Structure 1
Amino acid sequence: MSELSSALRILAALDPVEEAVARARAACTDLRWHNALRKRMSECRAEATVRAARSSAALEGARFPIAFVREVIAGAREVPDDLSGTQLSAAIRVAAVAQELSEKPDALRGGLAHVMSKLSLAAGAGLVPDEQLGRPRLAGEEPGDLGGLPQAPGPAEVADRIGQLDELLADPTLPGLVVAAILQGEVIALRPFVVGNGLIARALFRIQLVSAGVDPTGVGVPEAAFLSDVQGYGQAGAAYTSGADVPGWIVSCATAVEKGAGEGRTVCQAVQAGKLPKTA
């Protein structure tokens, strides 16, 4: 067992973390057995992807009504020709990649760098030159997003810590939700790419939650929970980045999963009642 795996087990065993993870798992289990998922799983997952993309875009400052985002994804509307539109397009692309990858069991195991590269291409298109996409920052390049955090580490430390994340993902006995929280926190802390780090961090969180079986339905929307408390989300991320409160970050992520399962139930109820437009 690696030193990092041992440290993560200690974090997972802390009472506040263990209790928050248990609540999140119970909420996801309850969601899993919703009647709408028996015959209309694909519709529910599609709507969850809409809401995930909309929430993640809004966290980057690109706020659009859910109906507008739904129409854009359906091809019925075009995004504005401005920065907010570009950010929304990026969030939609990232959400689509996350949905595709999350359907594979243990999607991140043994291939984290490849997945991150794919997400970078989706997150940064139209925002920076193509040669800066799909690869971590080089020496002298600084991240252009997630401002207000301590200075991002250099390329060597980024590569080392991503390698350590691969070690965590290689251990199937570690709690999936805690690993997902660490994945998201590390990308926020490292900001390994020139742009799109926030979108990528949340996408990895979603992929791990679904592919590791925490929320096997993929209908939970923790991104909506993060959006509902932007200040708290930012503060928890900053505390993780500085090392001041790693357990608190994990608890905040678990709470978002719990609340996101509630959003998932709302999705299921809307699908079951036929309240979503056919473009969804």
Structure 2
Amino acid sequence: MSTGTDPLASLAVLPGVPEAVAEVRKAVDRLYGHRVMRRRAGEVTSEAALRGARASAALDGADWPLEEIRRRSDFSGDEQARAVGGALRISAEAGQLLGVWRHSPLQVLARLHLLATGDADAATGRPRRADETAAPLFPLEIAAAEGFDRSAKGVELPAAPGADEAAARLDQLARLLAGRAEGAASGTPALVVAAVVHGELLALRPFASHNGVIARAAQRIVLIAEGLDPKAICPAEVGLAELGTAAYRDALAGYLGGTGEGMARWIAHCAEALRLGVRESTAVCEAMQRGMV
């Protein structure tokens, strides 16, 4: 594989990454070949969106049962309800933003943030100012008031870069994605591109809040845009929640460290999460086939 035209291509040949890419591709292909997908693909997509949103909110501390989310129609209450509502809004609209994403990913990120915050908190749906710091990731995991064991939070993550550096790196990421959309660089597998977008947004935390749910939604959009999961039926967020925040933090620390080993660990973590998301949707398909859904 040549690395001359694709700045991400070198990541695709890191130890373990080609195997992870191949395993994910095989798992996704099996799911797309399920007989339920021939006639009920739209229902599978809707269920994946709901389950992905629930899991993404859980990673931000709002761990609600799926049936509670199905039952509720009002998500304007406390902080947890608003977090769930924001994740649901993002998940419902992410697939519709694909056309804009291809030429203006930064515009999509701004839209995702507005969806995450909701009208009542729209003022925070803007890039961080130079005098602001990003909100911590995994917010409830480090909030003693919520009863979390502070000793269990795992690897310490560095602070996000300043707003100016974050803006410059975000612009660079947007140019890279636009180049891929135009065909200038297309050799890197979708899984690797999605993992880099996910990791970079978590590293930069370009907004004052809600960066986690946005990073996970951006990963989903990349997987759709790059053709690995065009129908959005593989909720990687479910896998991330199943693997747990401690493993999430540890893998992200590898990305932030920037070493080949660390990057490979992050990509492998994203791959495993996606495989677990495939397993989740496969179970949904099996339930539909048995007439249980």
State the TM-score, normalized to the length of structure 1. 0.88
Asked if residue 271 in structure 1 is aligned to residue 288 in structure 2, the reply is yes
The residue correspondences of 1:16-95 to structure 2 (distance < 5 A) are 16-72=16-72, 77-79=73-75, 81-95=77-91
User: CA 1:229 to 1:207, structure 2 compared with 1: closer, same or farther past 3 Å?
Assistant: same
The residue correspondences of 1:167-178 to structure 2 (distance < 5 A) are 167-169=175-177, 170-171=179-180, 172=183, 173=186, 174-178=188-192
Question: What code does the residue aligned with 1:258 have?
Answer: R
Q: 2:149 maps to what in 1? A: none
- 8 A Cα contact 1:53 1:95, kept in partner: yes
Q: 1:110 maps to what in 2? A: 103
Asked if residue 161 in structure 1 is aligned to residue 169 in structure 2, the reply is yes
User: CA 1:58 to 1:233, structure 2 compared with 1: closer, same or farther past 3 Å?
Assistant: same
Look up the SS of the partner of 1:94 in the other structure.
helix
Asked if residue 151 in structure 1 is aligned to residue 182 in structure 2, the reply is no
User: Unmatched 5+ residue regions in structure 2?
Assistant: 139-155
Deviation at 1:29, TM superposition (A): 0.6
- 8 A Cα contact 1:57 1:88, kept in partner: yes
Deviation at 1:275, TM superposition (A): 2.1
Alpha-carbon displacement from aligned partner over 1:147-181 (angstroms, at most 9, x marks no partner): 65211111221122112212332224132111100
Deviation at 1:121, TM superposition (A): 0.3
- 8 A Cα contact 1:44 1:271, kept in partner: no
Alpha-carbon displacement from aligned partner over 1:40-77 (angstroms, at most 9, x marks no partner): 111111111110010001000001111112233xxxx4
Supply the distance in 2 between the matched residues of 1:80 and 1:270 (Cα, whole angstroms): 32
Question: What code does the residue aligned with 1:240 have?
Answer: Y
- 8 A Cα contact 1:145 1:196, kept in partner: no
Look up the SS of the partner of 1:81 in the other structure.
coil
User: CA 1:81 to 1:243, structure 2 compared with 1: closer, same or farther past 3 Å?
Assistant: same
Look up the SS of the partner of 1:227 in the other structure.
helix
User: Unmatched 5+ residue regions in structure 1?
Assistant: none
Question: What code does the residue aligned with 1:98 have?
Answer: A
Corresponding residue to 2:124 among 123, 127, 132: 132
Same amino acid, percent of matched pairs: 38
Q: 2:201 maps to what in 1? A: 187
Look up the SS of the partner of 1:40 in the other structure.
helix
Look up the SS of the partner of 1:52 in the other structure.
helix
Corresponding residue to 2:274 among 252, 257, 275: 257
Query: How many residue pairs get matched?
Result: 266
Look up the SS of the partner of 2:136 in the other structure.
coil
Q: 2:252 maps to what in 1? A: 237
User: CA 1:79 to 1:155, structure 2 compared with 1: closer, same or farther past 3 Å?
Assistant: closer
Deviation at 1:142, TM superposition (A): 1.4
Deviation at 1:3, TM superposition (A): 7.7
Deviation at 1:218, TM superposition (A): 1.3
Look up the SS of the partner of 1:109 in the other structure.
helix
Question: What code does the residue aligned with 2:27 have?
Answer: A
Look up the SS of the partner of 1:218 in the other structure.
coil
Alpha-carbon displacement from aligned partner over 1:3-43 (angstroms, at most 9, x marks no partner): 8933x211101230111011001101111111111111111
Q: 1:123 maps to what in 2? A: 116
Deviation at 1:99, TM superposition (A): 3.2
Supply the distance in 1 between the matched residues of 2:5 and 2:120 (Cα, whole angstroms): 35
- 8 A Cα contact 1:127 1:195, kept in partner: no
Question: What code does the residue aligned with 1:96 have?
Answer: A
Supply the distance in 2 between the matched residues of 1:160 and 1:4 (Cα, whole angstroms): 21
User: CA 1:146 to 1:205, structure 2 compared with 1: closer, same or farther past 3 Å?
Assistant: same
